[in-house]
């Protein structure tokens, strides 16, 4: 394979990217609290070895996306592992892209600064980042453009997009970390193990949110719910979370009074969500579950409250960003009408991983942002798989895929519970989530009210197929 020149990418360049990505005020965009930034693409050398290379004093087989030569600007005594990114820089998730990508670069920069992984540094260069425009066909095309230059995919954004690319991942033995929490990831990939998902899926998160409400609402002086409603995007996110809500509602004897389809504003939906608001106000339920983005959340909760509606809303993890507190809807949220479920604690959560992330990103001048958390925590599974592959002496793509399937304990430095990628979904899928409340003093506007827990519905659920 021919070499392609690339410029030196030092840590200062990573931090400059992060600072640029977060230098603007947060808004209430559907997907992020960050304004999209323009970044400079670096040309990368991704020459691979079709033999063996020496790393940390042992022979390690390699093929694609791994070099004996050091990473540009990296440890001169280390080899280099190249990861690719398939993100959305021009579609509905464009504003999230800088935070997700910047956090992943920062994660590996921190790992490299601590000695790398088994004699290698790991990089996610700009040249191996592709804009898929959130389109499945572009996703597949973009993957194939970098497939021969990367060991693995550090970010595979979107469920339909990643599902479209899975056959090609399977063909190449390419391990990928999806940026989505679809319940079906536990059942995809050749013999499992190629899609290294992270965090609790939308379905279990929805179950836990309902189970939590049964005891928590009476504890704060509200009656235990008897009726619930669901307002959700018509996609895997909305369908998966809604499936969890309905399963837990049935288990608790609750009536699902209605399900409303919310068209994302970025896809041409009404910015005021007037029809959804009208339906909620005219058919009140004890709790409405929002499976939306922040713009829709602000419009729905603020719009309902402006008409005197005082019943509660619980939003899925992507439904919030701190920019809501700077919007006209802020009073409704400050009045305690909204709670949030999530697969991970927010920026201020106390864990070793959060502390490391905060220190790294604070040094870059980054404004706290929940999408940095997602980008950061998404890399732990890949790191564990790379470590296992090196220990096995086989850092080929096939060797990495094989190692990923044997991971019985992947830790997240306390950011989430440990998990396994070996065995069945019933045994290894994480089921714990947290509940947050609006807190104007919290860095991202939400503080943890209920730490990680698994409700009775998720505990007893037989997980032998995707929820939706």
Residue 428, CB half-sphere, CA atoms under 13 Å: how many?
21
Q: How far apart are the first and last CA of the chain?
A: 42
Nearest CA-CA partner of 423 in 243, 247, 193, 149: 193
**The pLDDT value given to residue 35:** 33
Per-residue pLDDT of the chain (468 residues; tens, 9 = 90+): 333 333 233 343 444 444 444 433 334 544 333 333 333 334 344 444 544 554 456 799 999 999 999 999 999 999 999 999 999 998 878 888 999 999 999 999 999 999 999 999 999 999 999 999 989 999 999 999 999 999 999 999 998 999 999 999 999 999 999 999 999 998 875 455 689 999 999 999 999 999 999 999 998 888 899 999 999 999 899 999 999 999 999 999 999 999 999 998 888 999 999 999 999 999 999 999 999 999 999 999 999 999 999 999 999 999 998 899 999 999 999 999 999 999 999 999 999 999 999 999 999 888 998 899 999 999 999 999 999 999 999 999 999 999 998 999 999 999 998 999 988 899 999 999 999 999 999 999 999 999 999 999 999 999 999 999
CATH fold for domain 11-200+349-428: Rossmann fold (3.40.50)
CATH number for the 202-342+431-460 domain, one of 3.40.47.10, 1.10.10.10, 3.40.50.300, 3.40.50.2300?
3.40.50.2300
Tell if the pTM clears 0.85, that is, is over it: yes
Alpha carbon distance 238, 12 (integer Å): 39
Residue range(s) occupied by CATH 3.40.50.2300 in the chain: 11-200+349-428, 202-342+431-460
Residue 206 parent element (H or E): helix 202-219
Residue 356, CB half-sphere, CA atoms under 13 Å: how many?
18
3-state secondary structure of 290: strand
**The pLDDT value given to residue 255:** 98
């Amino acid at each position: 394979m021919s070499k392609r020149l690339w410029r030196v990418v030092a840590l200062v360049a990573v931090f400059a990217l992060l600072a640029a990505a977060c230098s603007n005020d947060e808004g209430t965009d559907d997907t992020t609290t960050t304004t999209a930034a323009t970044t400079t693409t670096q040309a990368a050398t991704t020459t691979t070895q079709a033999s063996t290379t020496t790393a940390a004093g042992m022979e390690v087989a390699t093929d694609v996306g791994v070099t004996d030569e050091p990473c540009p600007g990296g440890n001169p005594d280390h080899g280099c592992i190249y990861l690719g990114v398939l993100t959305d820089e021009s579609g509905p998730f464009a504003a999230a892209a800088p935070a997700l990508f910047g956090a992943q670069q920062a994660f590996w920069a921190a790992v490299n600064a601590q000695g790398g992984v088994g004699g290698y540094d790991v990089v996610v260069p700009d040249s191996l980042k592709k804009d898929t425009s959130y389109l499945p066909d572009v996703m597949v095309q973009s993957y194939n453009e970098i497939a021969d230059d990367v060991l693995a995919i550090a970010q595979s954004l979107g469920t339909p997009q990643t599902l479209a690319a899975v056959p090609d991942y399977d063909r190449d033995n390419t391990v990928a970390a999806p940026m989505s929490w679809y319940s079906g990831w536990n059942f995809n990939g050749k013999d499992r193990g190629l899609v290294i998902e992270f965090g609790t899926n939308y379905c279990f998160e929805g179950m836990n949110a309902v189970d939590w409400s049964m005891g928590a609402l009476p504890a704060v002086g509200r009656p235990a719910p008897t009726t619930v409603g669901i307002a959700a995007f018509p996609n895997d996110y909305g369908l998966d979370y809604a499936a969890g809500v309905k399963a837990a509602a049935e288990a608790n004897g609750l009536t699902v009074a209605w399900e409303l389809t919310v068209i994302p504003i970025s896809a041409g939906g009404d910015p005021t969500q007037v029809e959804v608001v009208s339906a909620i106000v005219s058919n009140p339920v004890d709790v409405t579950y929002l499976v939306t983005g922040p713009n829709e959340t602000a419009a729905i909760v603020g719009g309902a409250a402006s008409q005197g509606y005082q019943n509660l809303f619980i939003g899925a993890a992507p439904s919030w960003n701190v920019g809501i507190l700077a919007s006209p809807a802020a009073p409704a949220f400050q009045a305690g009408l909204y709670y949030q479920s999530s697969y991970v604690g927010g920026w201020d959560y106390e864990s070793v991983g959060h502390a490391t992330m905060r220190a790294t990103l604070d040094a870059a001048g980054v404004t706290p942002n929940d999408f940095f958390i997602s980008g950061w925590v998404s890399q732990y599974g890949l790191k564990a798989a790379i470590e296992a592959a090196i220990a096995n002496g086989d850092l080929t793509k096939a060797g990495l895929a094989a190692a990923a399937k044997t991971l019985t304990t992947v830790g997240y430095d306390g950011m989430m519970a440990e998990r396994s990628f070996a065995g069945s979904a019933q045994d290894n899928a994480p089921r714990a989530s947290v509940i947050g409340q609006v807190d104007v003093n919290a860095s991202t506007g939400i503080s943890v009210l209920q730490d990680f827990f698994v409700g009775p519905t998720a505990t007893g659920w037989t997980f032998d197929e995707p929820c939706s």
